[in-house]
Structure 1
């Protein structure tokens, strides 16, 4: 998935993610098949193949993260419970400009179902802050994504997309707080993951700034089919000093 990122902490932009990339071959995250070479790369340390039944180490069990804004949970999306709320966020003009999912609820439902019905390489989640659903996340395997064609991916690289649902949560540092919290959750609960990845539009200074403030570093500039992106990386090795 390669979002055209919006700035998480600007006054007008809506979040740090948007719709998944559809590349020139028509493949998105859910269409990128595992090659024999990638299966070998994803082998466990003892040489046996990894089990692909849970590619993201059971996001539903990760539990809360303490943040300066209150306790935060990632709650995997359930269509019947969450669709109306997420679709309303997708129809906010500031969100729609980047995610391109405005329209009837079925537009958003189709996007979410593609992930829920897939092999688990992308998990859509509500971000619940202090018991209030207020953001939407996609936690995905960057190494199994078309994005991996555009940077030197490592096995278990994990990507994040984010949008903030409420205008009142934008422009006051909440995006940075949540980016740091979710990156920490990934690193705490995915022991084989050494890096958390994001790819905001290089022109979107507020978004890049939010990632930098959340402990990410600018690794490279990469040309993607729909934008020139800032490849942002949060390294496990440096997580406690950034």
Structure 2
């Protein structure tokens, strides 16, 4: 299915926040500088303060990445062949570090995080504003739609339902922490059947298939109305 086949219910004109628009007007005054500061702080509603959650698989906490602290571990995960097939960030640690720093140096529309389960870092997540992301060029988005990328770091944590449980938890965190957000989106590669199945198990629905640069993706959507359903 092409992205143009998505339900009309998913379509709404993109309305960028005033803070974001101001950054691209060439306003060289104090208002633009203040807008930039607010954007960095507010685009994802202080994710760092969302706190831990009790899940069926343990206590889970999204911790914003610190490159010096987490870079080597994330680079190791990126070089796992099962991960590399979809993330394409293999190579020396500097490859991963550059990917992380590009987000950390941005305006706050994407925040890289380590997923810590019972005190142990075991997954990598990117929480991002889908309405401010290039994804919006390829499929319908709504204001404040929030996207999720993830990988489970070690093979021992895969195939046991842990990913499904944590995806559900993170979607709940997004919807609780971002009152203006009505949908959580994901776009796993259609070839990654285990990832697609995990999102379906976590309460997402498959809305369309979308041709993105480098992959054909399954557009997965979790509605606010589905929050808390099991």
Structure 2: gaps of 5 or more residues? 1-13, 22-34
Deviation per CA, 1:44-94, whole angstroms, max 9, x where unpaired? xxxxx9942321011110001111111100000111111111111111111
Which residue pairs with 1:38 in the alignment?
16
Indicate the SS of the match to 1:38. Answer: coil
- Of the three residues 156, 172, 175, the one matched with 2:144 is 156
- CA gap of 1:116–1:41, structure 2 versus 1, over 3 A, is closer
Please show how residues 131-150 of structure 1 align to structure 2 within 5 Å: 131-150=119-138
Equivalent residue number for residue 213 of structure 1: 201
Question: Aligned partners of 1:87, 1:234: CA distance in 2, in Å?
Answer: 29
Query: Which of structures 1 and 2 has the bigger CA Rg?
Result: 2
* Distance in structure 2 (CA, Å) of the matches to 1:70 and 1:152: 35
Query: 2: CA distance between counterparts of 1:39 and 1:63?
Result: 26
Deviation track 1:178-219 (CA, whole Å, cap 9, x = no partner) reads 100100000010000000000112233222111010000111
Partners of 2:105 and 2:144 in 1: CA distance: 21
Residue 41 of structure 1 and its aligned partner are, at CA, apart by: 11
**Which of 33, 47, 52 is the equivalent residue of 2:39?**
52
Aligned residue runs from structure 1 range 134-213, under 5 A: 134-213=122-201
Q: Which residue of 2 aligns with 1:4?
A: none
Question: What TM-score does the superposition give when structure 1 sets the normalisation length?
Answer: 0.79
**Cα distance in 1, alignment partners of residues 185 and 115 from structure 2:** 18
1:98–1:158: structure 2 CA closer, same or farther, 3 Å change rule?
same
Runs of 5+ consecutive residues of structure 1 not aligned to the other structure:
1-35, 44-48
Q: What CA distance in whole angstroms lies between the structure 2 residues aligned with 1:196 and 1:157? A: 6
Correspondence 1:73 to 2:61? yes
Aligned residues: 202
Alpha-carbon distance between aligned partners in 2 of 1:231 and 1:41, rounded to the nearest angstrom: 28
Q: Which has the higher contact order (CA 8 A, sep 6+)?
A: 1
**Structure with more of its chain in helix, by fraction:** 2
Partner residue, 2:214: 226
Q: CA RMSD in A?
A: 2.1
Q: TM-score, normalised by structure 2?
A: 0.82
Cα distance in 2, alignment partners of residues 162 and 37 from structure 1: 27
Task: State how far apart, in whole Å, the 2-side matches of 1:240 and 1:37 are.
Answer: 28
